[in-house]
Amino acid sequence: LLSPSGAVAQTIFAEMSELAARTGAVNLGQGFPDVDGPEHLKDAAVAAIRAGHNQYPPGAGIPQLREAVAAHQGRHYGLTVDPGTEVLVTAGATEAIAATILALAGPGDEVLTIEPYYDSYAASIAMAGATHRTIALRPGPDGFHLDPDDARAAFTDRTRLVLVNTPHNPTGTVLTTAELTLLAELAAARDAVIVTDEVYEHLTYDGVRHVPLATLPAAAGRTLTISSAGKSLSFTGWKVGWVHGPAELVTAVRTVKQFLTYVASGPFQYAVAGALSDEDGRTGEYVTGLRTSLQERRDLLVESLDAAGFVTVRPAGTYFVVADAAPLGFDDAVDLCRRLPELAGVVGIPVSAFCAAGSATAQGLRSWVRFTYVKRESVLHRAAEGLARLR
Ligand code: PMP
Ligand code: GLN
């Protein structure tokens, strides 16, 4: 994050992955799969390199990928998207987020996010010189929820953007249609643009369905939807992302994107285009299998954490579960995470790393840790044995 002095610290993910590497602890910190995505997509990427797709791709992304994104949004969600003017390919969702915020918000503007939030949001808002305001996602007996009064109070005449993330990192919450509708209506009332980060759109469990904000009537005409191939396909290093929405908003984002990376991931764009169009159904099969296996691995980790004495909230989506260490006598998760390699041979991430320093939400979630279950079962079993030593 950018500190108030302007110094750039390393991300919490890099810090915790280094800690895992140094101590040999099981890395349940940074969210990346320890098994690659499907072979047929690796073959497609290699074929694209061999076919000579190795120079700058078009600025908006290759037409095949923009068409595949539009077709994907139509097939899965019934959205009508013009691949010519309403889709921009980016260097992962991260660049789409940064370019969107830099394009649409500046000094004097307020950008609203749901706290805890993915760490790049605060950094991008700081780089834009805009003001960051938050709406708390609070733990309750049946999961994390937004309080409608908090949401109403957060919007002001200066709200320029509301940046939503569902399924939600770090809590694994899938926001309900009612919560999303309220946010969309509040945004419409203030004429704010909605930005929605849906990178975990295909990773939901127990039959819970992801509702894309752009499908809600109140969000129509004011929503930029961001996603990427990393999570659904288990190729987080390929960094192929996209943003789609009204043409004039996408054009504004593209203007900024030109000066961030210009273009990225040329050959991978061909492989992802093939995956999203999925003419032979192989990618759909892969994603269905991944969803099932992640649900099983979620259950394994949640049960291990419960058995070790944490209080968990069973996540309905994503790679992550958050767990409260207070019942184990640890009330400071930052301190606990530094000691976890020694105490349990495991690395996790304090949930406060996803909060504004010193905020009420950070205080409320002070003893909570995020763990990822996108690891092989054998690795999760090893983590379970270590976590059991905490009791
Ligand atoms: N948004 C969220 C909520 C994420 O969890 C991640 C990945 N950790 C990203 C964005 C970044 O996605 P990408 O790797 O495609 O840039
Ligand atoms: N999105 C991944 C996570 O939340 C990590 C991405 C990163 O390292 N920036 O763990």
Examine the domain organization and report whether 235 and 124 are in the same domain. yes
Q: Please list, in sequence order, all residues whose beta carbon lies within 8 angstroms of the beta carbon of residue 70, skipping any fewer than 6 positions away.
A: 81, 82, 83, 86, 87, 244
Q: How far is the CA of 329 from the centre of ligand 1 (A)?
A: 32
CA distance 7 to 27: 27
Nearest residue (by CA) to ligand 2, atom 9, is 13
Examine the domain organization and report whether 241 and 194 are in the same domain. yes
Beta strands 349-350 and 368-372, pairing class: antiparallel
Report the complex ipTM: 0.97
Confidence (pLDDT) at 3: 54
For residue 246, being part of any structural domain is answered with yes
Nearest residue (by CA) to ligand 2, atom 2, is 31
CATH of the domain at 327: 3.90.1150.10
Confidence (pLDDT) at 14: 87
Pocket flag, ligand 2, residue 31 (CB < 6 Å) = yes
The count of C-alpha atoms lying within 13 angstroms of the C-alpha of 368, restricted to the half-sphere facing its C-beta, is 23
CATH of the domain at 120: 3.40.640.10
Examine the domain organization and report whether 129 and 163 are in the same domain. yes
Among 231, 248, 277, the domain boundary falls at 277
Among 277, 309, 343, the domain boundary falls at 277
Pocket flag, ligand 2, residue 11 (CB < 6 Å) = yes
Q: The tokens 């302007």 sit on which residue?
A: 6
Q: How far is the CA of 11 from the centre of ligand 2 (A)?
A: 9
- State the total domains in the chain: 2
Examine the domain organization and report whether 88 and 106 are in the same domain. yes
Mean pLDDT per 10-residue segment, the chain (391 residues): 54 88 95 97 98 98 98 98 98 98 98 97 98 96 95 98 98 98 98 98 98 98 98 98 98 98 98 97 98 98 98 98 98 96 97 96 98 98 98 89
DSSP-based three-state secondary structure for 263: coil
Examine the domain organization and report whether 43 and 21 are in the same domain. no
The boundaries of the domain holding residue 17 are: 12-37+284-388
Examine the domain organization and report whether 372 and 304 are in the same domain. yes
* Burial profile 313-327: b = 16 or more Cβ within 10 angstroms, e = fewer: bebbbbbbbbbbbee
For residue 7, being part of any structural domain is answered with no
Among 235, 253, 277, the domain boundary falls at 277
Examine the domain organization and report whether 329 and 255 are in the same domain. no
Pocket flag, ligand 1, residue 199 (CB < 6 Å) = yes
For residue 5, being part of any structural domain is answered with no
Q: Are 205 and 301 in contact (CB under 8 A)?
A: no
CA distance 6 to 10: 13
Q: How far is the CA of 13 from the centre of ligand 2 (A)?
A: 6
Examine the domain organization and report whether 89 and 212 are in the same domain. yes
Pocket flag, ligand 2, residue 13 (CB < 6 Å) = yes
For residue 3, being part of any structural domain is answered with no
Burial of 92 (0-12, 13-18, 19+ CB in 10 A): buried
Ligand nearest to the CA of 18: 2
Peptide bond before residue 246 is cis, with ω within 30 degrees of 0: no
Nearest-atom index, ligand 2, CA of 17: 8
Q: Which three-class secondary structure string do you get for 44-111?
A: HHHHHHHCCCCCCCCCCCCHHHHHHHHHHHHHHHCCCCCCCCCEEEEEHHHHHHHHHHHHHCCCCCEE
Examine the domain organization and report whether 23 and 161 are in the same domain. no
